[in-house]
Amino acid sequence: MSNIRVTYSGLIALTVGLASVLTGAIFTLIVTRRLSPEEFGIWSIIGSMISYFLIAEPVISFWATRQIARGEKVGKTSLTSSTMFSLGAIPLYIILSYYVSQVSHSHYDSMILAAILLPVSFVSQTMSAINLGHKPHASSYGLLAFESLKIPVGLSLVYFLDMGVDGAIITTAVAYMGKIGIQIYFGKHELQGKFGLQNLKHWIKHSWLPLYSNLSHVIWSLDVIIYTIITKSVIGVAYFSVSSTIAAIIGNAGLISQAVYPKLLAKGSHDYINENFSRLLYFAIPLLGITLVFSKPALFALNPAYQSASMIVIIYSFRTFFYVITSTLYQILLGIEDVDIEKNYNYKALAKSKLFLIPTLTNIQYGLYIVSLAIMLLVLNSNKISPIELVTWWVTIALALQIPVLIYASILVKKYIKFSFPYVSTIKYVVSTITFIVVFHFTSSMIINYQSSIYSFLPKLLLQLFICIGIYLIITYLIDKKTRILFKSIITELK
């Protein structure tokens, strides 16, 4: 699959991802403006519980991406197996819902309704893995359909019919079905052929590795449940969730590198890695700057009740920035691993490979995160600390543990491939970002009015945002040769 074009797929993914930020923000506005902080906390808890059961899905998608990228036809086996796994997870989810609703005094009926999200989440994730192996940009179109569908359905069910959390659940399920339809369209050629029972047996035999790899996601998402159980409140969860929603904007920068993993699996040259990493920073650094300076107005737009959480957004944004870079480095390491090219590999070989090393590092990091969070909550909650202070400590722990992991990941990448950090380019991007931050400082008070209605506030917020983006693009174009080359390549692709 050496015909995968890293920059082409990355630019499409980034463009669609940034467009999805806008459409996703509209749905988030609908939810946060219509749901109370307590209801939004319940919605966040449901999202965390769904993620617990997705731990079984990578048993399929982990191997599917790697085999499809190497030319093997395992799409139909992947999709069929994923559907069966999702149906088996529903009874377990219902049991967990009952327990959580008893502890947090939350809406049990809404949690049961959310079971419909399990099968669509499983299938969507599997189809993304299938397309990642041969058409990485296809998942981006599915994401755009997902975010776009949430707007009309969310307006109908959550805003006009006032269905609350139930409306948000149904909206998400409908959006997932639209996303799956797009993904199946692009992956239809990979879904041809027969169901391969031998492939399924092989995946199950070696399921311990993807389960171990995905364990980190389950560990990470335990934070919401732990906070709810210890504090017996969902208000802090609402602050955390709305702040992470804003910080997640930075995550879109990582889309520029989404095709690096399947390209490496296809055993192409490593020459493009340094250039791609430079482009990752080109987008990640200004997105970090945007989340920092727009933390307060973004929270006000979502709901004035969250406006006091701007420091939480700032801290979590740095954590997200470092996470995106770490994740990209991990994908490089996983992509150059070739232990599974031949099907006769054993447990010992896998345990010595980077396929085992990377999830081990992540599991240690997230394990320390959960333990530290639990200790912090037990100590501070007994002293009647406010939810804002508790969540501030919460995100600070996440940031503190991300930094050493990033440093070690960079050391590992330099050990295995010729990799050099683009210091000069990074300085240019930082200077350009600081410039628009200064401009924001002097102009925001004249443009943004926090006393106005949401309908007049949003256009002014977008005007301020476009000013900052324009400043960054102009300065980097003038002072950075790589930016000019990137612009020319975009124009060439459009032609």
Give 234-286 pLDDT, tens digit per residue.
Answer: 788 889 988 998 999 998 888 888 878 777 877 666 777 888 899 999 999 99
- Length of the chain in residues, anyone? 495
User: Where is pLDDT greater, at 12 or 51?
Assistant: 51
- Choose between 195 and 476: higher pLDDT: 476
Question: In this predicted model, what pLDDT tens digit does every residue of 189-221 receive, in sequence order?
Answer: 888 878 888 888 888 888 888 888 888 888 988
Q: What mean pLDDT do residues 90-112 have? A: 82
Three-state SS sequence of 168-229: HHHHHHHHHHHHHHHHHHHHCCCCCCCCCHHHHHHHHHCCHHHHHHHHHHHHHHHHHHHHHH
pLDDT at 377: 93
Decide if pLDDT at 109 tops 50. yes
Q: Residue 487 has what pLDDT?
A: 86
The residues near 202 (Cβ < 8 Å, ≥ 6 apart) are 63, 343
344 compared with 351, residue with greater pLDDT: 351
- pLDDT of 224 higher than 90: no
Q: How confident is the model at residue 181 (pLDDT cuts 50, 70, 90)?
A: very high
pLDDT for res 159: 86
Stronger pLDDT, 405 or 347, i.e. the higher one: 405
Residue with tokens 């990493």: 277
| 3-state secondary structure labels for all residues of 146-181 | HHHHHHHHHHHHHHHCCCHHHHHHHHHHHHHHHHHH
pLDDT of residue 275: 87
Alpha carbon of 474 to those of 89, 256, 259: distances in Å? 51, 20, 27
% pLDDT > 70, the chain: 94
> Alpha carbon 135 to chain centroid distance?
19
The arithmetic mean of pLDDT across residues 26-50, rounded, is 80
pLDDT score recorded for residue 1: 44
Rounded percentage of the chain residues whose pLDDT exceeds 90:
40
pLDDT number for residue 7: 62
Q: What is residue 105's predicted lDDT score, i.e. its pLDDT?
A: 60
Question: Has residue 106 got a pLDDT over 90?
Answer: no
φ, ψ dihedrals at 4, nearest 5°: -65, 125
Between residues 105 and 2, which one has the greater pLDDT?
Answer: 105
End-to-end C-alpha distance for the chain, whole angstroms = 25
CA dihedral 56, 70, 330, 486 (to 10 degrees): -130
How sure is the predictor about 476, in pLDDT bands with cuts at 50, 70 and 90? very high
What type of residue sits at position 107? H
In the numeric block, the tokens 């949430």 are attached to: 150
**Residues 113, 118, 121, 127, CA torsion sign:** negative
Examine the pLDDT at 327 and tell me if it is beyond 90. yes
> Rounded to whole angstroms, what are the CA distances from 215 to 59, 135, 151, 212, 362?
12, 27, 32, 5, 9
How does DSSP assign 273-308, residue by residue? HHHHHHHHHHHHHHHHHHHHHTHHHHHHHH-GGGGG
Q: What is the pLDDT of residue 63?
A: 86
Residue 112: burial class (beta carbons within 10 Å; 0-12, 13-18, 19+): middle
What is the pLDDT at residue 330? 94
139-179 residue pLDDT tens: 778 888 888 898 899 989 988 888 989 999 999 999 999 99
Angstrom distance (rounded) from CA 348 to CA 135: 32
Q: Please report the pLDDT score of residue 3 as a whole number.
A: 57
Lowest average pLDDT, out of 36-40, 290-294, 386-390, goes to: 36-40
Q: Which amino acid is at 13?
A: A
Is 312 a residue whose pLDDT tops 90? yes
Do the beta carbons of residue 241 and residue 41 sit within 8 Å?
A: yes
Give the Cα separation of 257 and 6 in Å (integer).
Answer: 7
pLDDT value of position 368: 96
Which of 90-94, 342-346, 457-461 shows the lowest mean pLDDT across its residues?
Answer: 342-346
Alpha helices in 3-116 (DSSP H): 6-34, 37-53, 58-69, 75-104, 108-113
**Cβ–Cβ < 8 Å for 301, 457:** yes
Please determine, for residue 44, whether its predicted confidence score (pLDDT) is greater than 50: yes
Given the structure tokens 């776009």, which residue do they identify? Answer: 148
pLDDT reading at 485 higher than 70: yes
- Token digits of residue 57: 């899905």
By mean pLDDT, which of 99-108, 276-285, 447-456 is the weakest? 99-108
The mean of the pLDDT values for the chain is 87
**pLDDT score, position 195:** 86
Ramachandran category for residue 267: left, alpha or beta (phi over 0 → left; psi -120 to 50 → alpha)? left
Q: Lowest-pLDDT range, 18-27, 119-128, 371-380?
A: 18-27
Mean pLDDT along residues 16-26? 74
> Among candidates 113, 121, 184, 174, which has minimal Cα distance to 148?
174
Q: How far is CA 333 from the centre of its chain?
A: 19
Stated pTM of the model: 0.80
What is the Cα–Cα distance from 336 to 266, expressed in whole angstroms?
Answer: 9
Q: Rounded to whole angstroms, how far apart are CA atoms 151 and 171? A: 9
